[in-house]
């Protein structure tokens, strides 16, 4: 399979140059705009009634020449770090005015599937080619489950972000995409989950602490966090009965049995 006509476009967004914070007058104007936007229920909850967050979104929108609403809808916070959506990066590159619309060249199927993004520089006419993404790269880097279920879409997102990082790093502002963050932050494996559950059965944790661990596990913890939990559980295991130095738990069980 070879395709050269896949394209994601967005119309040129309105400029926000009037929102530069170069002096106190402009800053006060931006505050008024942020206050107005923050009371809207159409913006994400992270910005609703939160003027500081909305101000940051306005500043970022001004830097890259995008609409504030577009920035707020496509900026995600993962483990305390901001990241863009893959579709936003492609749309921002198309709207920046420096390149012809971004296109994607795909070849192969299955394990041989490859993709790279390309566009022409509008000033020089030079054809600009981004990094080629291959399934071998996907496997070698251990990228996530979405690559198994929607590889072509993920190829476009990743090749688009690589293109932007090479030819327009100021638009990405050094930030990764949400898809990259998800791939690079490996979630707890099934083996780790099973091991934690087995250690929980013989741990000295009280019920409150056990519920806390279960809550964490149910909210997509990383493999690193899972290792921390495993190490802590190993340090808090019921000591085995050896006839000479029984653990407190075993002693309580022995007393309970004599009362039956």
Residues 67 and 139 in one domain: yes
Residues 140 and 177 in one domain: yes
**pLDDT tens, residue by residue, 202-258:** 999 999 899 888 888 887 677 777 888 999 999 999 876 554 444 445 544 544 444
Distance CA 257, CA 211 (A): 28
Last residue of a domain, one of 134, 159, 185: 185
Residues 108 and 46 in one domain: yes
Q: Which residue has the tokens 């993004």?
A: 117
Residues 145 and 93 in one domain: yes
**pLDDT tens, residue by residue, 35-53:** 999 999 999 998 999 999 9
Last residue of a domain, one of 135, 165, 185: 185
Residues 66 and 27 in one domain: yes
Give the pLDDT of residue 227.
Answer: 84
| Structural contact between residues 219 and 226, judged by C-beta atoms closer than 8 angstroms | no
Whole-number Cα distances in Å, 16 to 21, 168, 169: 11, 19, 20
Residues 218 and 159 in one domain: no
Copy the structure tokens of residue 38: 């923050």
Query: Which residues fall within 8 angstroms of residue 227, CB to CB, at 6 or more apart?
Result: 192
Residues 29 and 153 in one domain: yes
DSSP state of 111: G
Residues 148 and 226 in one domain: no
The residue ranges of the chain whose pLDDT is under 70 are 1-20, 79-80, 185-187, 220, 240-260
Give the pLDDT of residue 254.
Answer: 47
Domain holding 132, by residue range, is: 1-185
Residues 10 and 34 in one domain: yes
For residue 91, count other CB atoms closer than 10 A to its CB: 22
DSSP state of 99: B
Give the pLDDT of residue 4.
Answer: 55
Residues 33 and 161 in one domain: yes
Give the pLDDT of residue 49.
Answer: 95
Residues 142 and 242 in one domain: no
- pTM > 0.95: no
Q: Mean pLDDT over all residues of the chain?
A: 82
Last residue of a domain, one of 185, 202, 222: 185
Copy the structure tokens of residue 88: 């936003």
Name the domain count of the chain. Answer: 2
Residues 198 and 253 in one domain: yes
Query: Which residues fall within 8 angstroms of residue 108, CB to CB, at 6 or more apart?
Result: 1, 114
Distance CA 49, CA 181 (A): 27
Closest CA to 112 of 133, 131, 129: 133
Classify residue 9 by burial, with Cβ atoms within 10 Å: 0-12, 13-18, 19+.
Answer: exposed
| Structural contact between residues 161 and 8, judged by C-beta atoms closer than 8 angstroms | no
Give the pLDDT of residue 63.
Answer: 83
């Amino acid at each position: 399979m070879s395709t050269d006509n896949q394209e994601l476009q967005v119309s040129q967004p309105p400029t926000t140059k009037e929102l530069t914070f170069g002096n106190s007058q402009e800053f006060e104007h931006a505050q008024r705009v942020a206050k107005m936007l923050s009371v809207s229920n159409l913006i994400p909850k992270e910005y609703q009634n939160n003027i500081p967050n909305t101000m940051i979104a306005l500043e970022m929108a001004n830097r890259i020449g995008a609409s504030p609403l577009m920035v707020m809808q496509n900026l995600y916070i993962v483990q305390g770090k901001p990241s863009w959506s893959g579709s936003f990066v492609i749309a921002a590159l198309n709207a920046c005015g420096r390149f012809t619309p971004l296109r994607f060249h795909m070849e192969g199927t299955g394990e041989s599937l490859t993709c790279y993004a390309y566009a022409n520089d509008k000033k020089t006419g030079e054809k600009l080619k981004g990094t080629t993404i291959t399934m071998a790269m996907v496997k070698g880097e251990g990228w996530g489950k979405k690559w198994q279920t929607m590889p072509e879409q993920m190829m476009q997102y990743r090749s688009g972000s690589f293109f932007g990082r090479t030819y327009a790093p100021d638009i990405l502002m050094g930030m990764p995409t949400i898809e990259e963050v998800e791939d690079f932050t490996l979630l707890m494996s099934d083996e780790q989950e099973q091991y934690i559950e087995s250690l929980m059965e013989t741990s000295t944790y009280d019920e409150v602490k056990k519920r806390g661990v279960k809550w964490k596990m149910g909210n997509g913890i990383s493999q690193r966090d899972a290792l921390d939990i495993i190490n802590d559980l190993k340090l808090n295991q019921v000591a085995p009965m050896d006839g000479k130095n029984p653990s407190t738990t075993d002693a309580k069980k022995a007393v309970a049995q004599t009362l039956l």
